[in-house]
Structure 1
């Protein structure tokens, strides 16, 4: 089964959900930013 033959219900569910459910809070945003970004910003980085 390929991605082209995805049933409309599943497609709609994915579209409704978006890629990642992100909590609407500062902490959640910071966490989401850290998850979506590669770890390169962590070690040896900074402001």
Structure 2
């Protein structure tokens, strides 16, 4: 799935390239925030 997205990105217009790049940045942001919240929950004293 990601390979198809990257392949399509290389063949798309400038706007499509920017759009796909922003999607990857957004997904990375979601994963980062999720990991941070899980770590905070694990270190929390409210078990």
TM-score (norm 1): 0.30
Greater helix content? 2
| RCO comparison, higher one (Cα < 8 Å, 6+) | 2
